[in-house]
Amino acid sequence: MQWSEEAIVLGVRRHGESSVIAEVMTRSRGRHLGMVRGGRSRTMQPVLQPGNSVDVTWRARLDEHLGEFRIEPLELRAGRLMETATAVYGVQAMAALLRFLPERDPHPHLYEALSVILDHLHEPADAGELFVRFELAVLNDLGFGLDLLECAATGTREDLCYVSPKSGRAVSRAAGAPWAGKMLALPAFLGDESRHAADAAALADGFRLTAFFLNRHVCEPRGLELASARDGFIQAALKALGTPRHDQPEKAHA
């Protein structure tokens, strides 16, 4: 068995004295693992850093085997990604999100989104908005997508400002007013064809929204917690936008 494809490095772990198990994200084969012989060498270590784009050839006798990777560099972003806290934490946080997905399960749009976000992690507002959308896309692919296009109660697409914590559907300001204290905020930048830029307050609402449903549907049933890198990314992004510490989003729970 053999295939070749472009991929993005998510992480590595040691395997024996000189090799590593590399974890990559590919467009058509999803998150995939493989052994890299000599992966701890001075030549390969810079290539196998999270966030780098590489060309991967995978070989194994049978499809169900771990197999071996032959890896060649394409775009080495890792050095640049070490320059800001949003980038350092963002790479780790997105890799952790992708680990919620089954190995070798294709998610081409997530691969494309990952590639785009990696090139915007130095811009806190853009990075934060893209990260929230990435989390929504992961939820959707896991079967827990939110419906944010129209009001669950009236069907209107105007003045949507809440999300029901029970249904995961948007609710308009008027329809949700009686239960406003129990609703999650829907940031304007997530609106249908919205042209609103994501400011610090909107990003904080977005992070709370996705954390609530990730915890409820993904983490708690598996006995897991959201990666600590996510908290680091949020704090770095909001700090860069000038948000006071007491206004940063707390961890949300179902």
Annotated domain spans of the chain: 2-76, 83-148+186-247
- 254 pLDDT exceeds 60? no
Amino acid 196: pLDDT: 66
pLDDT (0 to 100) of residue 246 = 41
* Mean of pLDDT values over 11-30: 96
pLDDT of residue 108: 98
3-state helix, strand, coil in the chain (%, to 5): 40, 20, 40
193 pLDDT higher than 80: no
Kindly indicate the confidence band of residue 191, based on its pLDDT and cuts at 50, 70 and 90: confident
Tens digit of each residue's pLDDT (9 = 90 or more) over 40-74: 999 999 999 999 999 999 999 999 999 999 999 99
Q: Three-state SS string across 196-249, please?
A: CCCCHHHHHHHHHHHHHHHHHHHHHHHCCCCCHHHHHHHHHHHHHCCCCHHHCC
pLDDT tens digits, one per residue of 71-128: 999 999 999 999 999 999 999 999 999 999 999 999 999 999 999 999 999 988 899 9
Topology (CATH) of 2-76: OB fold (Dihydrolipoamide Acetyltransferase, E2P) (2.40.50)
Residue 250 has pLDDT above 60, yes or no: no
Q: Which residue has the higher pLDDT, 208 or 253?
A: 208
**What's the average model confidence in pLDDT over 187-211?**
86
pLDDT of residue 253: 43
Model confidence over 123-169: pLDDT tens digits?
A: 888 999 999 999 999 999 999 999 999 999 999 999 999 999 999 99
Four-CA torsion 62, 74, 118, 37, nearest 10 degrees: 40
